[in-house]
Amino acid sequence: MKRSDRITAVVILTAMALVAVTWIVMHRTRGTVAVVRVDGRVVATVDLTLREPQTLHITGVLGPLVIAVDGKGSIRVTESTCTDRICVHTVPARSPGDQIICVPNRMVITVEGKGTGIDALAQ
């Protein structure tokens, strides 16, 4: 193999590697995370793949909310001062697209991440 051929090969490989890296960076997907929003503003982001349980204390529009992450991939609301307590009774969220909503507190927990491949959830 000529020296020039080797250089050509290196250049081509480098270019391919660059394209590959760009591709991966652009299409990078996060693991499963729960995003907690109050009035549309993100107040907490929790990695649901972490193994240790944790408790979040956040302030909704109405009052304080306690959110529990069980360390097994689920998140739920354990305490809220709202009257209907729909949020507390909602099934724990764990899959991308799952939501827990507290309208009086204007609080939404949304599980985001790859997995279901759906565009929207009819519910």
Partner 1 sequence: MRKAIAPIVALIVVGAGLATFFALRASPEPVTSTYFLMDTVLTVKTTGGDATAINEHLHALASGVDSMTSYYKSESETVRVNTAAGRGPVSVSPEYAALLKAAMAVETIDHGETFDIAIAPVSSLWGFSTKDFRVPAAKEISDTLAYSHSDQLTIADSTVQIRDSRARIDLGGVAKGYSLDVMEEYLHTVTPQPRQVIVDFGGNLLLYSGGQKHDWKIGIRDPRGQGIIGYVRSGDAFVATSGDYERYFERDGTRYCHIIDPSTGYPGTLNQSVTVITGMEPMQGAIGDALGKVFFCSTAETQHSLFPAAQNQGAIGIVIVDAAGTRSTLGPITFVPTTDQ
Q: Which residues bind partner 1 (CB under 8 A)?
A: 2, 4, 7-8, 11-12, 15, 18-19, 22-23, 26, 37, 39-40, 83-84, 86, 91-95, 97-99, 101, 103, 106, 108, 116-123
User: Which residue shows structure tokens 């729960």?
Assistant: 34
Q: Residue 78: in which H helix or E strand, if any?
A: strand 75-80
User: Which residue shows structure tokens 């193994």?
Assistant: 51
Provide the minimum distance between the beta carbon of 81 and partner 1 in the complex, in angstroms, as a whole number: 15
Closest CB to partner 1 among residues 4, 52: 4
Provide the minimum distance between the beta carbon of 53 and partner 1 in the complex, in angstroms, as a whole number: 18
> What residues have CB less than 8 Å from 80, skipping those under 6 apart?
60, 63, 64, 65, 66, 87, 88, 102, 105
Closest CB to partner 1 among residues 39, 47: 39
